[in-house]
Amino acid sequence: MLNATSENLAVLSSPTVKPKHSMLPILIVLFLVSYGLMAVLVVEQSRTIDSQRGLIRSLFNDSTQLSQMKGKAIQKQHAEAQAQADARAHSQVQSPSTQDKPQDRKNLGKLRKPVPQRPPTDANSLEDVRRNVMRI
């Protein structure tokens, strides 16, 4: 029995057995490389987020300026339409009135037919078409 245990010791202490910790340096290098790559990824994501934030602010400013320009254009059109309406009303008031001929009186009666009244619409019955959701 003593002989068998000495053989086991001889096998264990032989140079053909590899040490158990041979993978540790390789694992350490792989972890360091992976943490380095992760740090680079975080820095690049930060740069991307900052550039997107700047782009969003720029687009918001452009949108605000465009809305202001549209508002000014609508005000200008409204002012021009109001000026034209005032000019028409002013020219109609100052033009001398002529007496209507009997033929013209007949035609005026045809032109001034009453327009049929529309029934009142309930606020509940109106649907907002812009927000109409289509479902499958």
Distance between CA atoms of residues 46 and 42, nearest Å: 6
What percent helix, strand, coil does the chain show, rounded to 5? 70, 0, 30
Has residue 17 got a pLDDT over 50?
yes
Q: Identify the band that residue 21 occupies on the pLDDT scale cut at 50, 70 and 90.
A: low
**pLDDT tens-digit readout, 90-136:** 787 665 555 555 555 555 555 666 777 776 666 555 555 566 666 77
Higher pLDDT, 77 or 112: 77
Give 17's contacts (C-beta < 8 A, 6+ positions apart). 11
Query: Whole-structure pTM over 0.75, yes or no?
Result: no
Q: Taking Cα atoms as reference points, which of 105, 103, 87 lies closest to residue 95?
A: 87
